[in-house]
Amino acid sequence: MGKYSKNITHNRIFKSAFFIFLIFMLLLSRLYWIQIIKSKEYKLAALKQRGKEMGIYPSRGTIYDRNLIPLTNRDKVPTLFFVKDYVLENEEAMDFMKDVSKKSNNVKKDNSKIGEIELNRSLENEILPKGIFFAEKTLRYNQKNLLSHVIGYTKKTENKGESGIEKTFDDVLKKENIGSIYFEIDNKKNPILGGGYALVDNEKAKRPSNVQLTIDYHIQKIVEKAMDEEGRKGSVIVSDVESGDIVAMASRPNFNQEEVDDFLNRGDMELYNKGVQVSYPPGSLFKIVVLLAALEEDPSIINENFYCNGFEEINDVIIKCNKDEGHGKLSMKEAFAKSCNSTFIQLGERVGSEKIIDMARRLGYGEKINIGLMEEVKGNLPEGEEIKGPSIGNISIGQGSVEVTPLQVTNMMMILANEGIQKDLSIIKGIVTDNGNMMKKFNREKDEKILPKKHCEIVNEYMNEVTISGTARTINLEDIGGAVGKTGSAQAVLNGRNAVHGWFAGYFPRKNPKYVITVFVEDNYSGSKDALPIFEKVSREIYEKNR
């Protein structure tokens, strides 16, 4: 009986020990789960409840070019985050920050408890002074502000698109915080010097909310470089003849998308996309419209000769030609190539204002082209009393109340390059995933016949003569297939004073054209002297890129 009792006791002790061991192991496993496996998640949860969040990745989807090269969310900068109240009073910490930060950096004076400053190098594996933290921050905008007027900008405090693609696709691009850094704070909401911090990549915020454009990143760089090298204000647009895609659109002066407030009250209209948002007198470019209206009225006009004595008088209103002494006797082709005002005023009087304005509307003037930018304006075509009497003189040479955008000029050139077929111009391809898969393609209208092919061939032949013997004869692109186009110099009032704007619009190569390029230079410049060199430079560099 004693032996039996001993066995029972031993069994009970063994079972109790095993049970205690099992509980201990379960507690140990749970502790391992909490301390090791789930430590980051629980630490983050605690920091989110009792922490200060600073975004290190834009809370907006990426805007891509046609080849899925990112145009936003592209540049990364090493960044220091620091507790202001402590660091600004600590000499050692300040000396450290001055040593590693960019010379141009200044600590912003605001009410925030945590400051940030860009660095000249990474500090990923370095020991940092108390109150200082390191992370790589992804910038929303390219540091060179490439394609700034098309991309637009946001109202940072509300994560809201204010212009450009940011505004058009605001609902699509807006996301939750994708990446953040959290700092531990005390009861007074001040960062704790020895407290924790965590970098967070929010996978749940990643959804198909990115926009792909028709823009070609490399061609856009070519265009912006050419404008900056020439130092011109204005706009350049490049479009693909076959597809109708806008592959480049630049406006100058440029602006810093991260510091928009600095540009709000300036006088150079830096925030305006001058390709679509401002309209200008087209000058002699409008002679293309007059010629097309005349060809429709009487195709035999091309066989006639005209005489220019240096001016035209309509109801006691005298309008000078672009050559004071006059051009003398001219054929229609010669008058177009030399951009003779007198000839086209005579032509306008024969055709009439109404037919010219009607042709302009068919070519897309006076209406939005609708490429996907909400800021686009319609320009202006005169009507009613504005087209009566001596106004035909100004209408015939693209002056007076006739106003167009560089985009509308591009649309006209596209029709001519496609032998009378209008392509639905666009700057949007569609909405894509982070992997570049197309989720929703941007709708495009079908091609539409606008002009007879024969009339386009005549105008194209005349524009070719412009580059051979006319106002654009200095162009030198024969080695890459040549180019055709039309110059324009338009008088306008700018900021209360008289100014002259310059145009050159055309396409290259001469046969089987690939690209239409419209160049507009603002304020006291001519088409042949100032717009033409930009056209030439852009054309050559695009050709070299595509070889």
For residue 36, give the amino acid letter.
I
The beta strands (E) that lie in 394-437 are given as: 421-422, 428-432
d(CA 285, CA 413): 10
d(CA 507, CA 480): 12
Are residue 472 and residue 493 in the same domain, yes or no? yes
**What pLDDT does residue 208 have?**
55
**What pLDDT does residue 156 have?**
75
d(CA 284, CA 342): 12
Q: Which of 66, 103, 109, 394 is nearest to 243 (CA)?
A: 66
Contact call for residues 285 and 398 (beta carbons, < 8 A): yes
Q: Is residue 490 part of a domain?
A: yes
C-alpha torsion sign, points 272, 275, 276, 279: positive
Are residue 148 and residue 235 in the same domain, yes or no? no
- The alpha helices in 363-430, defined as continuous H runs, are 391-396, 406-417
d(CA 394, CA 39): 76
**What pLDDT does residue 448 have?**
96
Q: Is residue 442 part of a domain?
A: yes
**What is the domain-level CATH number for residue 528?**
3.40.710.10
Q: How many domains does the chain have?
A: 3
Q: Is residue 42 part of a domain?
A: no
**What pLDDT does residue 367 have?**
97
Are residue 409 and residue 473 in the same domain, yes or no? yes
Are residue 17 and residue 119 in the same domain, yes or no? no
**What's CA 93's distance to the chain center, in Å?**
41
**What is the domain-level CATH number for residue 132?**
3.90.1310
Are residue 456 and residue 492 in the same domain, yes or no? yes
**What pLDDT does residue 42 have?**
56
Q: Is residue 382 part of a domain?
A: yes
Both tokens of 4, joined, read 């039996």
Are residue 61 and residue 167 in the same domain, yes or no? yes
Burial class (CB in 10 A: 0-12, 13-18, 19+), 316: exposed
Question: What would the pLDDT profile of 117-173 be if each residue is shown by its tens digit?
Answer: 888 778 777 777 777 778 888 889 998 999 999 999 998 778 899 999 999 999 899
Q: Is residue 48 part of a domain?
A: no
Contact call for residues 396 and 354 (beta carbons, < 8 A): no
Both tokens of 133, joined, read 């933290």
For residue 80, give the amino acid letter.
L
Place of tokens 């496609």: 418
Q: Is residue 44 part of a domain?
A: no
pLDDT < 50 stretches in the chain: 47, 49-51, 104, 188-189, 194-196, 204-205
What are the φ/ψ torsions at residue 490 (nearest 5 degrees)?
A: -120, 130
b or e along 329-360 (b: 16 or more beta carbons within 10 Å of the residue's beta carbon)?
Answer: ebebbbbbbbbbbbbbbbbbeebebebbbebb
**What pLDDT does residue 181 have?**
56
Contact call for residues 486 and 505 (beta carbons, < 8 A): yes
**What pLDDT does residue 186 have?**
53
Question: What would the pLDDT profile of 401-449 be if each residue is shown by its tens digit?
Answer: 999 999 999 999 999 999 999 999 999 999 998 888 998 899 999 999 9
For residue 255, give the amino acid letter.
F
Number of C-alpha atoms within 13 angstroms, CB side, residue 195?
A: 22
Are residue 88 and residue 232 in the same domain, yes or no? no
**What pLDDT does residue 538 have?**
98
Task: Identify the domain containing residue 416 by its residue range.
Answer: 217-256+271-546
For residue 108, give the amino acid letter.
K
Q: Which of 520, 20, 432 is nearest to 213 (CA)?
A: 432
H/E run at residue 244 = none
For residue 14, give the amino acid letter.
F
Are residue 107 and residue 239 in the same domain, yes or no? no
d(CA 410, CA 248): 12
